[in-house]
Structure 1
Amino acid sequence: MLKKLLLGVLFLSTSLSAQDYFFKKFHPFDSQIPSPETYLGYGIGEHHTRHDLIVAYLTKLAEVSERATIHEYGKTHEGRKLVMLTVTSPKNHTDLDALKQQHLRFVDPSQNPSNYDDVPIFINLAYNVHGNEPSSSEAALLTAYTLVASNNPEILNYLDNAVIFIDPTINPDGRDRHTQWANTYQGNPLVGDPQDAEHNEYWPRGRTNHYWFDLNRDWLLGINPESRGKLTWYHQWYPNVVTDFHEMGSQSSYFFEPMKDNGSLNPIMPKENYIDLNNLFGDYFSKALDSIGSFYFTKEVFDGTYPGYGSSYPDLQGGLGLLFEQASSRGHKQETAFGEITFPFTIRNQYTSSITTVKAAVENKAMMRKYQQNFFKSALSNASKSRVKGYSFGDAHDPNRVKAFVDKLLLHEIDVYKPGDKFVVPTQQPQYRMVQTMFETYDKYRDSVYYDASAWSVANFYNMKYEPVTGLNLGEKVTSLDDLVKPSAVQKSRYAYIIDYDDYNAVAVLNFLQTEGLVVSSSFKPFTVKTTSGDKSFNYGALVVPVSLQKKEADMVYQLVREAQEKYQVPMFAVNSGYSLKGIDLGSRYVEPITKPKAAMLIGHGVRSYEAGEVWHLLDTRVHMPITKIPLRNFGQTNLDKYNTLVIVSGSYDFSEKQFDKIKDWVSKGNTLVTIGTATKWAVDKKLVKEKLTEEEKDSTATVERKPYVDAPENLGKERVGGIILKVDLDMTHPLAFGYRDASIPIYKNNTVWLAPSKNEYATVAKYSKSPHIDGFISKKNLEENLKPSASLIVSKVGSGRVVLFADSPNFRGSWYGTNRLFLNALFLGNKIEIPE
């Protein structure tokens, strides 16, 4: 009854008293400071506010008040501004540089300041990482106004004792996608029916950014500009407390930390963080929400195990990350089992938690600052206790992949050194826990059900061969990516150029040269040849650019080859003869011209947007190759003959018989279909290919064990595969494996697609190793009965064409540099794969 009464309050007019629903207790307000309602022309909660208006309002606050300044820390893929509003007392603003230096002394283990209560606490109120969870950005406007305009003694105390950084919209591209939808379908009067269009966004929805990435998983991986900008800002300020505001299903209530306990048996995060600090702040949130009659829950779900959340990354930087989840109105008003939930109601809970975060942080600032100091000091002491003194890594065959990994380490302020041909990361450094995150793997867990991935050893993402070392030779410290990759300039030839295909950027070079109209071939066997730089051995897949066979003059061919090298920094060599010293000659039938891919990908309702976005992002940002994105609603009218390659990622596909035949006939003509995850299961189930899934042995006589009903979610949940790292064995002679030098590579699995090895002895490209587990939780049943007998990658013949079947995720979160090549080879070399009968 209380909840219904509270919800009923939300239909007040847009007068001042309506906005007092949010912040009545913080009067008086400075009349010279415009409220959000005055500036926007509507009350907060009446409409969804566009990101440009959010930025404009915060900019206005910075213009009219000495309490606020605004800073742009980046731009999104679509060019929207990423801004930070800094709010504190005018005196603190004047002394901000000095306060920053005092604050940073506490995160430097070589310093030992003890004036914990003298320096204002640094708080980052961060909002709206998921674009269609919009209540928090509206709360950010209210919070900013309260802190800038209120002259209430409570607020003035906060300003004296805190520097508050308001990041109003972490994901502006996704927010505006959702804002447009919600405002477009907003009714007058409001429509609360959950089936109304307003509450049901069309694919891909506003949760994700431009490339359909979940930015709340990107703090560790740092792939997108939104995350890279925020990480750069973060390591300049090291806030003590960071918020992470979200929304969840409309039938729920409100969640704040503490979460479930960490999953690892030996978590690298201090227990003091996820037990003591979370409970301390939880008491504040419960009292604040009790005071406005809001219901909530804690501890039951969500875990901070994965370090790439906005609520977990700060925990590995000596701060306290705080997750909030508000039941969503999914629009402006929606009917639920508890009555109507409205947009203003959701905003008020987020606003209340925002102000309460500031209150709790200020009242415990000395403790929080001492905790952060101890955090970095304990990093050094923990490192000193370990036999492992560092990690050595490198790959002489693929310097651009190594460079990408070094970039990730530097982004997180991890110290990297280069004593010779390899790189070394010492454990004895303030970012020791991040070093552990990058390199350590685990196989024992206290829990079995994870909100997200249970494996994230980032070195494995890059297929980086690394080893722990007990002694160090550090050499020169790496502070920049400049000059990390310096291939010798290719010399001019009138015969041919050979491009080393082992390098990660070689596929981008291939695409560039093909786009410029050059004929490029691939070597299907290794060879050694005399180049103008000396004798050189080339691996499977080496690219050959014959000069005399081109339609362009030799000078233009050289200019394009040189331009490609300068752009992508890939080793290239000139040869003056096609006669090899060892292996095949350049005119061999094993050196085949590559057909330029004309690729398309199905998107739309039912398609897993994350995987589709990973493909789009990879081709756009690293290969610079266009891919046509075909909405499923248009598939019936699509002329597939325009393409020679089609990608279908995980999803739920309900093709008609005519549409299925259309795909099969197209493949049969000699084209290449690439399926990933559950799309692979679809291809097998629908008998598009003559392959099978791994079948469990079932004993029909076995007695079913009775189990407590309440345990069902946990028991069933542990059989899911949220995200683990496994080892596979590659057939390195197969075109899909061209560019690899080691048959054993790590792959990422986040599904339960168990693909049986092909009965064709030449078709299984990658099979799980005998001891496949590298990192992450997998149940014993899945490991022994499903995983070990299965294959990861198969190519299956369909007529004159083929289907490349990925059971796993080769492009996961834009970070799996180690398996990107398998997918790219499917696009560029797929039509060269002949499958013997």
Structure 2
Amino acid sequence: MNKIFCAAVLLITVSFSALAQLKNPSEFIPNYGKQITYYHQVEDYFNYLTEQSQSIKKQKYGVTNEQRNLNVYYISTPENLANLEQIRNNNLASIGLPASKSAAVEDKIIVWLSFNVHGNEFAGTESAMTVAYELLNPSNETAKQWLKNTIVILDPCINPDGYSRYGNWLREISGKKTHPGLYDREHMEVWPGGRYNHYLFDLNRDWAWQTQVESAQRIKLYNQWMPQVHTDVHEMSYNSPYFFPPAAEPLHEFIEKYQRDFHNVLGKNISQKFDKQNWMYNTRERFDLFYPSYGDTYPTYNGAVGLTLEQGGIGAGREVTMENGANVTIKDRLAHHATAVLTVVESAASQKEVLLKGFRDFHSNARIKAKGVYNTYVLKNNPKLVQMAEMLTKNEIEFTYADASASASGFHYQTKKNESFKIEPNDLIIKADQPRSVLAQVLFEPNQKLNDSLSYDITAWALPLAYGVEGFAVKNTLQIKTKSKIETAPKNIPASVYAFYVPWNNRISAQVVSQLHQAGIKVRSAMKKAVFGDITIEPGGIIISRADNPKTADFEKTVGDIIKVKSDYSFITTGFSTNSKDIGSENFVLLKAPKILMLSGKGIASTEFGANWFYLDETISYPVSIVETANFNRVKLYNYNTLILSDGSYDFSEDQKKKIDEWIKNGGKVIAMSSAISLFQDREGYALSLFASKEDKEKSEKEEKDIELKKRFLDYEGVERREISGTIPGAIIENKLDKTYPLAFGLGNTYFSLKSNERSFSLLKSAVNAAYIPKGYVSYGFVGHDIKNKLNETVSFAVDKKGDGVVIYMMDNPLFRGFWENGILLFSNSLFLVN
């Protein structure tokens, strides 16, 4: 017995000794604070902590596109970690979310810490290791007190792919000595940069839309916890002093006093820590709380106190000399972050009761009375609601479908007028009275109040317009029979089919055509409405006929297996139409299978390229050859029939331009987006010109000169606000469609474009103005006063015929951030339907 007792005592002593000697990051990771840490080293250190401490627990919640792990770590007392599931369930139950109240446990404050959503802002992940160590350090008695009432959920790297891209590059180009001078290559990151994820999406703009796998997996876990505080840790330009709350205006009107108050508490608490160290900082500048898809706003609209912390560091590499002559190092950056983040945890722990009450009142009050003007949102039945339902489900926003008819009146998104309308079966209904009440209202409230036009991001996102569905916002709660889903009857395909019909009305249509092309199956598209018995084929509708595919084995099964994902497909048994639009007529155009070349590299906007790449690779799963612009001369263009030019600056020589001209003339198609259209502007043989006439040009130049003359009498202080009068940070603009042309097929009666640039061209001559901004257009969001009238009767999307080929001009990017659903269909039109 004595030997066993002694052995047990020895084991306990060794265990406590190990805990007492918990290694800090500098002791575990070579060159910590001097060189970027590899992602696998980050994981190794956190694994070490979980092995050595009983106060940390790991959960892998997903993987990235490049198969790196996505992990969170729960940090609290061992007792709290043992009751983690009960604490989570009780937290959800306290705000009316579907969770059963567990055995009685004391309420805890939940603080979620997110680091490195932007991969090249690497001091975030570096600081995450110091934060974890300080919270777990056995000798840190203060932290032990915080954790008695606090669950910390720490995500050390939201974007491992971007972090690793940047880290591998920095490691590869680093020597033994640091080079703080501005012109060393470690301060000049190469294209596409490490900021973005694998598909070059900005994950900090993707919280609500969840187009990317990292976002979808993380927010699924986030919504299972619903923390009271969420901290988003960033870096910005290395010359910038540290930023912490309070946030800048505009602050969304739905943000509660308790959320603003805690921002002020944080500001005071962090400033005290920074003052002691003589660290420079700023508050209430630049970083606002308005656009709903950020790492601070999305949690805010879910009742948390969402906040951003920003350290100067982008482009700093390992060490850089700032404009004030001082050097900033990795160690400096992570120390600033660790101090601020730990102060957030400390402040949350001390404000536990206030935060819990505010958080719970936020949810209960919103259910009693809608924060906005409207109580119900009705979206008319439309195939694009499939994607709408997916987005709502990801955000756990409740919705139903009408199961009866009724009359109602409300705000019509498309006209911005109050109108009477009919609710019909299968219309989608969202009520403000639900657990995610505020988030639902933020996403659907049509008239967001922008109390300061100096916004950091887009200022409008009305989802009915983004998805291309007719929508109404209703002030009262509707009493109508509803159902949870739309039932679709299975189709019985006959043994012999003359042709299949796939409606062209959402992204699934494009996915189907993508798969048909890749299977070598010929498809046609309707130019006008055609009627075959009880089947009406709308413009753009896809026809797959047996006659076009005589060599396709088991035609019905082969085609049926591909198109079955499109639940509204049908088939016809005769090619004879009742309105003189037979299958063999000119009305049904044989579509070419695109052979796509897309250029990448220096000068091209990374995120805009990424949006195109993601669309091709993920949305429609279609092959594309991607070539660096530097290698363009090596490309044999005649191997392709489609060239995608993403937004950017293309430094083509005259010979290269002539090469493209000749290829277009012989049948090539160019899709030129945003600033890429300048390649064709005012060039012989192309219709693209800023002005329709010499008189229009002279008038515009005179107006610009008059504005400059008036500016001479204005004070300097207001220059920033005056300059935004000529800008559009991101607004929704009405476009009139040429519904007879394939670029407009399936988009509805009106297309609403998300415009985030000031580019405006008069309607083009000798070209198809497929979508243009009409006079007196409807708009949502901030449009600068000086540019508002200039947009009247300007073109947004046009098609320019040249020989046997075409150039499609896109002044706006319809694939912006991957969430503009009607834009996805518009781009699909350009790729598949415009021949």
TM-score, structure 1 normalization: 0.89
Name the aligned partner's letter for residue 713 of structure 1: E
> Which is worse superposed, 605-614 or 798-807?
798-807
Aligned match of 1:726: 733
Name the aligned partner's letter for residue 414 of structure 1: I
1:565 is aligned to 2:544: no
Aligned match of 1:302: 287
Name the aligned partner's letter for residue 497 of structure 1: F
Name the aligned partner's letter for residue 437 of structure 2: Y
Match of 2:121, SS? coil
User: Which of residues 27, 33, 46 is equivalent to 2:34?
Assistant: 46
Taking a change above 3 Å as real, the CA distance of residues 122 and 692 of structure 1, as seen in their structure-2 partners, is same
Aligned match of 1:293: 278
Matches within 5 A, 1:642-791: 642-686=639-683, 689-694=686-691, 696=700, 698-699=702-703, 700=705, 703-705=709-711, 706-740=713-747, 742-760=748-766, 763-784=768-789, 786-791=790-795
Q: 2:487 and 2:218 mapped to 1: Cα distance?
A: 25
Aligned match of 2:182: 194
Task: Please state how far the C-alpha of 1:201 moved relative to its aligned partner.
Answer: 1.4
| 8 A contact 2:250–2:455 mirrored in 1 | no
Name the aligned partner's letter for residue 198 of structure 1: E
Taking a change above 3 Å as real, the CA distance of residues 465 and 492 of structure 1, as seen in their structure-2 partners, is farther
Taking a change above 3 Å as real, the CA distance of residues 112 and 634 of structure 1, as seen in their structure-2 partners, is closer
Matches within 5 A, 1:60-75: 60-75=48-63
Q: 1:486 and 1:231 mapped to 2: Cα distance?
A: 33
Q: 2:488 and 2:675 mapped to 1: Cα distance?
A: 38
Aligned match of 2:392: 409
Name the aligned partner's letter for residue 167 of structure 1: D
Task: Please state how far the C-alpha of 1:688 moved relative to its aligned partner.
Answer: 6.4
1:236 is aligned to 2:241: no
Name the aligned partner's letter for residue 500 of structure 2: Y
> Which is worse superposed, 483-492 or 684-693?
483-492
| 8 A contact 1:109–1:373 mirrored in 2 | no
User: Which of residues 825, 828, 833 is equivalent to 2:832?
Assistant: 828
Task: Please state how far the C-alpha of 1:654 moved relative to its aligned partner.
Answer: 2.2
Match of 2:79, SS? helix
| 8 A contact 2:375–2:477 mirrored in 1 | yes
Q: 1:291 and 1:521 mapped to 2: Cα distance?
A: 72
Match of 2:118, SS? coil
Structure 2: segments with no counterpart, 5+ residues: 1-16, 404-425, 692-696
Aligned match of 2:797: 793
> Which is worse superposed, 647-656 or 155-164?
647-656
Match of 1:582, SS? coil
> Which is worse superposed, 649-658 or 177-186?
649-658
Q: 1:685 and 1:45 mapped to 2: Cα distance?
A: 53
Task: Please state how far the C-alpha of 1:698 moved relative to its aligned partner.
Answer: 1.8
Q: 1:779 and 1:490 mapped to 2: Cα distance?
A: 55
> Which is worse superposed, 84-93 or 512-521?
512-521
Q: 1:200 and 1:557 mapped to 2: Cα distance?
A: 56
| 8 A contact 2:774–2:794 mirrored in 1 | no
Question: 1:126-156 deviations in whole A, cap 9, x for unaligned?
Answer: 1000000000101101111221233221011
Task: Please state how far the C-alpha of 1:158 moved relative to its aligned partner.
Answer: 1.3
| 8 A contact 2:448–2:460 mirrored in 1 | no
Task: Please state how far the C-alpha of 1:767 moved relative to its aligned partner.
Answer: 1.1
Aligned match of 2:603: 606
Q: 2:120 and 2:472 mapped to 1: Cα distance?
A: 42
Match of 1:414, SS? coil
Taking a change above 3 Å as real, the CA distance of residues 573 and 326 of structure 1, as seen in their structure-2 partners, is same
Name the aligned partner's letter for residue 208 of structure 1: Y
Aligned match of 2:268: 283
| 8 A contact 2:301–2:442 mirrored in 1 | no
Q: 1:271 and 1:711 mapped to 2: Cα distance?
A: 30
Match of 2:710, SS? coil
Let me know the Cα RMSD of the aligned residues.
2.5
Match of 2:288, SS? coil
Task: Please state how far the C-alpha of 1:298 moved relative to its aligned partner.
Answer: 1.0
Task: Please state how far the C-alpha of 1:65 moved relative to its aligned partner.
Answer: 1.7
Match of 1:350, SS? helix
Q: 1:726 and 1:488 mapped to 2: Cα distance?
A: 40
Matches within 5 A, 1:339-488: 339-383=326-370, 388-396=374-382, 398=383, 401-420=384-403, 421-442=426-447, 445-469=450-474, 470-473=476-479, 475-476=481-482, 478=484, 488=491
Q: 1:682 and 1:255 mapped to 2: Cα distance?
A: 40
Aligned match of 1:620: 617
Q: 1:285 and 1:369 mapped to 2: Cα distance?
A: 21
Name the aligned partner's letter for residue 633 of structure 1: A
Question: 1:767-791 deviations in whole A, cap 9, x for unaligned?
Answer: 113342332100222111x211211
Match of 1:606, SS? coil
1:203 is aligned to 2:202: no
1:552 is aligned to 2:551: yes
Taking a change above 3 Å as real, the CA distance of residues 486 and 780 of structure 1, as seen in their structure-2 partners, is farther
What percentage of residue pairs aligned between the two structures are identical? 29
Taking a change above 3 Å as real, the CA distance of residues 157 and 718 of structure 1, as seen in their structure-2 partners, is farther
Match of 1:30, SS? helix
Taking a change above 3 Å as real, the CA distance of residues 489 and 309 of structure 1, as seen in their structure-2 partners, is farther
Match of 1:451, SS? coil
Match of 2:681, SS? helix
Taking a change above 3 Å as real, the CA distance of residues 394 and 73 of structure 1, as seen in their structure-2 partners, is farther
Q: 2:311 and 2:373 mapped to 1: Cα distance?
A: 45
Q: 2:300 and 2:588 mapped to 1: Cα distance?
A: 53
User: Which of residues 514, 518, 537 is equivalent to 2:517?
Assistant: 514
Q: 1:315 and 1:390 mapped to 2: Cα distance?
A: 22
TM-score, structure 2 normalization: 0.90
Taking a change above 3 Å as real, the CA distance of residues 686 and 445 of structure 1, as seen in their structure-2 partners, is farther
Q: 2:58 and 2:706 mapped to 1: Cα distance?
A: 70
Task: Please state how far the C-alpha of 1:476 moved relative to its aligned partner.
Answer: 4.8
| 8 A contact 2:86–2:105 mirrored in 1 | no
Task: Please state how far the C-alpha of 1:111 moved relative to its aligned partner.
Answer: 12
Structure 1: segments with no counterpart, 5+ residues: 1-27, 832-837
Aligned match of 1:332: 318
The aligned length equals 784
| 8 A contact 1:108–1:373 mirrored in 2 | no
Question: 1:576-614 deviations in whole A, cap 9, x for unaligned?
Answer: 221112240011022121110001111111111111111
Name the aligned partner's letter for residue 561 of structure 1: V
Q: 1:817 and 1:484 mapped to 2: Cα distance?
A: 23
Task: Please state how far the C-alpha of 1:287 moved relative to its aligned partner.
Answer: 0.9
Q: 1:756 and 1:798 mapped to 2: Cα distance?
A: 19
Match of 1:257, SS? coil
Name the aligned partner's letter for residue 552 of structure 1: K
Task: Please state how far the C-alpha of 1:272 moved relative to its aligned partner.
Answer: 4.0
Match of 1:140, SS? helix
Match of 1:522, SS? strand
User: Which of residues 490, 501, 511 is equivalent to 1:498?
Assistant: 501
Taking a change above 3 Å as real, the CA distance of residues 318 and 828 of structure 1, as seen in their structure-2 partners, is same
| 8 A contact 1:493–1:558 mirrored in 2 | yes
Taking a change above 3 Å as real, the CA distance of residues 294 and 639 of structure 1, as seen in their structure-2 partners, is same
Aligned match of 1:221: 209
> Which is worse superposed, 694-703 or 790-799?
694-703
Matches within 5 A, 1:92-241: 92-108=80-96, 118-241=106-229
